[in-house]
Amino acid sequence: MIWGCTEWQEPQIGEEQVYVLTPRDSLKTDVATQLFYWYGVEGATHYELQIVTPNFGRIDQLVLDTNVSGTKYQFTLNPGEYEWSIRAYNNSSSTGYTVHRLYIDSTLNLNNQQLILKSPSDNDTTNNPRQIFKWQSLYNADSYRFELWKNSFTGDFVLFRDTPKDTLAYNVPGEGRFVWRVRGENPSSNTIYSDRAFYLDTTLPNTPVLQQPDDGDFINSAQLDFQWTRGSQTGSSIRDTFFLATDPNMTDLRERRQVKGNTLSLDTLSNGVYYWRVRSYDKAGNTSSYSSTRQFTLQP
């Protein structure tokens, strides 16, 4: 019996349409931060979102041109007249554009406005104490109040600063979980706070300690079981990389694998002399020293 295989074909979405949830067409509002939200199209992998002023027939400025994998995107606009478009696409086809108008009125009242935080991303994990905090500016905010706390907003206070800019650089002390928030202010009003968290981990993972096989072992088993330890450690999650070579300098690599646990089994090696070692990496980007290198001989 001969089994045939059917080549997978990507869905054709050229006849589909993107339907918008918010903002509605021709909306007039003084809320500068808008949530662009649409229904997903089956078979689409991404969506192209464009915003221009005043309209696509007479473009004075391309305000935004971005590709989104989800079905929502938040963006802050200055007062003015806009048209925005959205289309769905995949590698082989795309829908037509859905186009809506939007009018942003000016106001000095910040109470209904929302500040969009840009970086670091929410729940980011890093080993760099030098953090660049960024947010999207509001046309009617004269300054921004920035706060940084350890663990939570009821935890240890780290930094408070008022700045007219939409960027603040700071060397964060210590390690652990930090939360930060920003609000826009002018003499008569302020936005609510927008907040995020991040994790700072500057501690190197422990150096792995090899357990088995022992150095100098002669092995005649078809399956090799490697095992090591690295001790208990707090901080960001850790993965190990296993290295296997045919020379003591570890230049002629035969295996290099990321391992979630502290064991690895191999059954594809030919007879000969091998060398192995392990190194640990954590989510923050810290790297341990290499373990010691062990040698073993695989024989019939």
- Average pLDDT over every residue of 30-56: 98
The per-residue pLDDT for 233 is 78
Whether 174 shows a pLDDT value over 60: the answer reads: yes
Q: Phi and psi of 296, rounded to 5°? A: -145, 160
Confidence band (pLDDT; 50, 70, 90) for 158? very high
List, in order, residues 6 or more apart from 239 with CB less than 8 Å away.
258, 259, 260, 280, 281, 282
CATH classification code of 20-104: 2.60.40.10
Q: What pLDDT does 234 receive? A: 74
- Say yes or no to pLDDT of 2 above 50: no
**Token duo for residue 92:** 């082989």
Collapsed DSSP state (helix, strand, coil) of residue 2 = coil
The CATH fold assigned to 117-200 is: Immunoglobulin-like (2.60.40)
Contact 141, 109 (CB under 8 A): no
Residue 208's identity, in one-letter code, is P
Looking at residues 53-64, what average pLDDT do you find?
Answer: 98
Nearest to 292 by CA among 220, 246, 229: 229
φ, ψ (nearest 5 deg) of residue 248: -65, -20
Q: What residue spans in the chain does CATH classification 2.60.40.10 cover? A: 20-104, 117-200, 209-298
Global pTM? 0.85
- Identify the residue whose tokens are 């500040």: 115
Contacts of 133 (CB under 8 A, 6+ apart): 119, 120, 146, 167, 168, 169, 170, 180, 182
pLDDT digits (tens, 9 = 90+) for 94-139: 999 999 999 999 999 999 999 999 999 999 999 999 999 999 999 9
Q: Are 290 and 207 in contact (CB under 8 A)?
A: yes
Q: Which CATH architecture has domain 209-298?
A: Sandwich (2.60)
Question: Under a CB-based contact definition with an 8 Å cutoff, are residues 68 and 136 in contact?
Answer: no
For position 181, what pLDDT does the model report?
99
pLDDT at residue number 17: 97
Cβ-contact 68, 47 below 8 angstroms: yes
Pairing outcome for strands 294-298 and 217-219: parallel
Task: Determine the Cα angle at 20 with ends 19 and 22, to 5°.
Answer: 165
| Between 6 and 66, the higher pLDDT residue | 66
Percent of the chain at pLDDT > 70 equals: 97
pLDDT in tens, 237-269: 999 999 999 999 999 999 999 998 899 999 989
Q: How far is CA 224 from the centre of its chain?
A: 37
pLDDT level of residue 168 (50, 70, 90 thresholds): very high
Confidence of residue 1 (pLDDT cuts 50, 70, 90): very low
CA-to-CA separations, 287 to 31, 126, 162, 205, in angstroms, rounded: 46, 13, 37, 6
Residues recorded for the chain: 300
Q: How confident is the model at residue 6 (pLDDT cuts 50, 70, 90)?
A: low
pLDDT band at 7 (very low <50, low <70, confident <90, very high): low
pLDDT, tens only, 209-239: 999 999 999 998 888 999 999 888 777 899 9
